[in-house]
Amino acid sequence: MKRALVIAALGFSLAAGLAVAASDPRRSGFDFMSRETQAMQKDDFSNPGMLWVQDGADLFKARTGTSGKACADCHAEPSMKGVAARYPAFNAKTSRPIDLQGRINQCRLDRQGAPELPLEGHDLLALTAYVAQQSRGLPVSPATDPRLEPFRRQGEALYKKKLGQLNFSCADCHDANAGRRLAGAPIPEAHPTGYPLYRLEWQALGSLQKRMRGCMSGVRAEPYGYGAPEFVAIELYLMSRASGMPMETPGVRP
Amino acid sequence: MARALINVPATAKKGEAVEIKVLIQHPMETGFRTGPDGKLVPRDIIQRFSCTYDGQEVFAAELHPAVAANPFFAFFTLATASGPLIFKWTDNAGKEESQSADIAVT
């Protein structure tokens, strides 16, 4: 029975184009969802994240700022393929890691002469989703810059640090109890392969930072602000933890 | 213009049942929620959605505040003639949006 289930699950993940090596014990949040929600993510005409991707495609071509340049004037579309799979990257200017949203804002400020877009706003999420969608199906391949190592270690420490009135760390649920249930909902393994993703609960697209803020208020901790260096460090650690898993952006999650 | 993802097969055989899928970007704000200022956020929902094809209304739906944001419609119709399928939706302020997609029937 168990073997049949494994074979069925494998067949399904192959069909979804989300094939991970059979020996890989890691599972994406996708595998914990109902069939209906999986079908929603797989069909680009029923995946609401595609609405943001299309908005992002328009924004990518829109000229803006004092330079009068659009993103597409420098970045021909194929050049964005695989970009999201290797972020967060090292930002030499600040000597810190920078995530994809931060990089888009930095590019606007420095090269386009346009104001930064508000974090978690519609336009920045749309642009990020458009760029990340081009990496869909590619394996997560974290940046190898050795200068990122201390930040990755900081992210790991934060992931394992107990927080809030409930005194939980990320690892207490997502490592120690992954696959079990919390109030009826399955606890996934915290692989950030589908971000920014459409959460049915949010009825909107949201970033990994929004997801983490939700978890932090869930354990009654004070969430870090959007764009906080702590979040970027955790993103860095989570992406290295998910190394090799296929990107799913825009994902759909319950 | 409102964005919508419309999936209509490009071609179909006459008399064939074809599946039409429409996903409309819309907040579907219920009018019961309060904003950060404590005041009610005004209701903003789609009230009616319809699809006209070959001179006939082939599908229509009434929507209510409990419908989630970005509503998704999937339905079947019989391919009768080549031409556009016209999708129309009206919000509670009476604003009408329309988009169409062509189908070639052989």
* Number of other CB atoms surrounding residue A89 within 10 Å: 18
Cα–Cα distance for residue pair A157/A153, rounded to 1 Å:
6
Q: What is the mean pLDDT of chain B?
A: 95
| C-alpha to C-alpha distances, A74 to A60, A80, A127, nearest whole angstrom | 10, 11, 15
* Lowest mean pLDDT across A12-21, A82-91, A109-118, B31-40: A12-21
pLDDT at residue A198, rounded to an integer:
97
| C-alpha to C-alpha distances, B89 to A28, A175, B47, B71, nearest whole angstrom | 37, 46, 7, 11
Which token pair is B26?
């819309």
Out of A85, A110, A133, a domain closes at: A133
Half-sphere exposure of A220 (CA within 13 A, CB side): 3
Out of A84, A107, A133, a domain closes at: A133
For B61-75, how does the pLDDT look when each residue is reduced to its tens digit (9 = 90+)? 999 999 999 999 999
Does A175 fall in a domain?
yes
Q: Based on the structure, what is the number of domains in chain B?
A: 1
- A101 with A145, same domain: the answer is no
Confirm or reject contact between B70 and chain A (CB < 8 A).
yes
Higher pLDDT, A23 or A201: A201
- Model confidence band, residue B60 (pLDDT cutoffs 50, 70, 90): very high
A45 CB neighbours in chain B (<8 A) are 5-7, 21, 23
Q: Based on the structure, what is the number of domains in chain A?
A: 2
- Name the minimum distance, in Å, from the CA of B96 to any CA of chain A: 20
Which of B23, B68, B69 is nearest residue A46 as measured by Cβ atoms? B23
pLDDT at residue A24, rounded to an integer:
86
Does A1 fall in a domain?
no
**Residue A134 corresponds to which amino acid?**
Q
Confirm or reject contact between B33 and chain A (CB < 8 A).
no
Q: Is residue A215 flagged as an active site residue?
A: yes
Does A22 fall in a domain?
no
* Number of other CB atoms surrounding residue B71 within 10 Å: 20
Domain that holds residue B50: 4-30+43-105
pLDDT (average), residues A26-45: 95
- A111 with A161, same domain: the answer is no
pLDDT at residue A19, rounded to an integer:
52
Does B87 fall in a domain?
yes
Compute the Cα dihedral for A252, B1, B7, B10 and give only its sign.
negative
- Please check the confidence at residue B30 and state whether its pLDDT lies above 70: yes
For residue A254, give the nearest of A199, A203, A195 by alpha carbon.
A199
CA A87, distance to chain mean position in Å, is 10
- A68 with A165, same domain: the answer is no
- A62 with A151, same domain: the answer is no
B28 CB neighbours in chain A (<8 A) are 203
Question: Three-class SS of residue A126?
Answer: helix
Does A184 fall in a domain?
yes
Q: For position B88, which CATH number holds?
A: 2.60.40.10
Which of A45, A203, A204 is nearest residue B5 as measured by Cβ atoms? A45
Does B37 fall in a domain?
no
| Of A71, A74, A173, A215, catalytic | A215
Confirm or reject contact between B28 and chain A (CB < 8 A).
yes
Q: Under 8 Å CB-to-CB from B7, ≥6 apart: which residues?
A: A45, B19, B20, B21, B22
User: Which B-chain residues 73-92 have CB contacts (< 8 A) with chain A?
Assistant: 74
- Name the minimum distance, in Å, from the CA of B19 to any CA of chain A: 12
Question: Three-class SS of residue A248?
Answer: coil
| C-alpha to C-alpha distances, A27 to A3, A251, A252, A253, nearest whole angstrom | 17, 14, 15, 14
Domain that holds residue A181: 40-45+140-253
Q: For position A110, which CATH number holds?
A: 1.10.760.10
- Model confidence band, residue A8 (pLDDT cutoffs 50, 70, 90): very low
CB contact under 8 A, A55 and B3: yes
CB contact under 8 A, A48 and B70: yes
Does A249 fall in a domain?
yes
- A97 with A144, same domain: the answer is no
- A159 with A178, same domain: the answer is yes
Does B36 fall in a domain?
no
Does B68 fall in a domain?
yes
Does A226 fall in a domain?
yes
pLDDT at residue A77, rounded to an integer:
66
CB contact under 8 A, A48 and B23: yes
Q: What is the mean pLDDT of chain A?
A: 91
Long-range contacts of B101-104 (CB under 8 A, 24+ apart): B101/B6, B101/B8, B102/B8, B102/B10, B103/B8, B103/B9, B103/B10, B103/B11, B103/B12, B103/B18, B103/B53, B103/B79, B104/B10, B104/B11, B104/B12
DSSP structure class, residue A14: H
- A126 with A175, same domain: the answer is no
- A146 with A204, same domain: the answer is yes
pLDDT (average), residues B73-87: 96
Does A92 fall in a domain?
yes
Question: Three-class SS of residue A124?
Answer: helix
Which token pair is A39?
């079908």
Does B63 fall in a domain?
yes
Residue in B1, B7, B21, B23 to test binding to A, most A beta-carbons within 10 Å: B23
- A117 with A161, same domain: the answer is no
For A63-116, how does the pLDDT look when each residue is reduced to its tens digit (9 = 90+)? 999 999 999 999 986 679 999 999 999 999 999 999 999 999 999 999 999 999
For A108-144, how does the pLDDT look when each residue is reduced to its tens digit (9 = 90+)? 999 999 999 999 999 999 999 999 999 999 999 999 9
Does A66 fall in a domain?
yes
Cα–Cα distance for residue pair B63/A245, rounded to 1 Å:
40
Chain B residue with minimum CA distance to A201: B68
Does B35 fall in a domain?
no
pLDDT at residue A76, rounded to an integer:
81
- A160 with A98, same domain: the answer is no
